[in-house]
Copies of this chain bind each other. A is one copy, B any other.
Amino acid sequence: MKKLINAPGDVVAESVAGFAAAHEDIVRAQFDPTFVVRRDAPVAGKVGIVSGGGSGHEPLHAGYVGVGMLDAAVPGAVFTSPTPDPILAATRAVDGGAGVLHIVKNYTGDVLNFETAAELASLEGIEVRSVVVADDVAVEDSLYTAGRRGVAGTVLVEKVAGAAAERGDDLAAVTAIAQHAIDNVRSMGVALSPCTVPHAGRPSFDLEEDEVEIGIGIHGEPGRHRVPLESADRITDHLLDAVTADLRLRPGERVLLLVNGMGGTPLSELHIVYGHARRRLEEAGIVVARSLVGNHVTSLEMQGASVTVLRLDDALLELWDAPVRTAALRSGL
């Protein structure tokens, strides 16, 4: 295992500390229990938004903490759900009196621990609602999941919900728009190589030299099938076809197209995938109204990519375009 780390047990704490120092104008970090909050939390009268999950998917979630997006992110150990304790602490830290929304990726541990934290927060008088992101169309149940997994679509849900909270929507409205985004987003990914969890010290699975895994999970969970390495265009077809069929996209609809890197794939390759996916959508009469290409929900150094499509309406478009200032996503001038 070759990694730029010190002790495997220190990876998360050291990484969070470095992240918070590099972005001290946007966030601050707390340790024991460990979470990251926006600098000005809690914002009085604003719905607080907390997300989190196992580490190893950076920039998710801490990279999306800031004005217009998350109020706090709770990192667990690598590929391991955070316990209720830091989730509760983060929930308290962002409670500005208007309630708190938990955005949870659909993994059994995450769902349970966020639920426990929400119950404990309720006992303290904090109103908490939760939404569960389950955008991965690859498989129905999985290694750590009952139902579909939550993957790259999570970033889009966090952006939309964050913008709604920032403009002053109440907890019911923020929850509703987050759920609306969840209902309209689908993803599927491919792995060209595995990744290595620091504590494990060896690759999470094996792939032959000429083999890729279609429908991979973001922790290396099995996907739909392994196929010989094909061209970028054919691989993109596999992912996009599954996503658009599940979304039941119709000609004339507007979408946001996200091509997400798994961590170890060059940006140039992601843009090749994007170019083909966009052409395919346009040929089908779909309007690609917004785009995002880059490493947003990663699996450590895994080589691979995922395709996410969010069906847009005016409400989602306005929230997507709203100002945002986080480490990993910023609006322009």
From A190, A268, A300, A305, residue with most partner B Cβ within 10 Å = A268
From A11, A15, A323, A325, residue with most partner B Cβ within 10 Å = A15
Contact residues in B for A21 (Cβ distance below 8 Å): 274-275, 278, 291
Contact, CB under 8 Å: A274 / B333: no
**Residues from 277 to 332 in A contacting B, C-beta threshold 8 Å:** 278, 291-293, 295, 298, 300-301, 303-305, 323-325, 330-332
Query: In whole angstroms, how far apart are the Cα atoms of A4 and B331 in the complex?
Result: 29
Smallest CB separation, A227 vs chain B (Å): 13
Contact, CB under 8 Å: B231 / A6: yes
Contact, CB under 8 Å: B301 / A264: yes
Contact, CB under 8 Å: B325 / A278: no
Q: A-side binding surface: helix, strand, loop or mixed?
A: mixed
Contact, CB under 8 Å: A2 / B209: yes
**Residue in B closest to A14 when the chains form the complex, CB atoms:** B272
Give A residues with C-beta under 8 Å from B. 2-6, 11-12, 14-19, 21-23, 26, 55-56, 58-59, 63, 66-68, 190, 192-193, 209-210, 212, 229, 231-233, 235, 259, 263-276, 278, 291-293, 295, 298, 300-301, 303-305, 323-325, 330-333
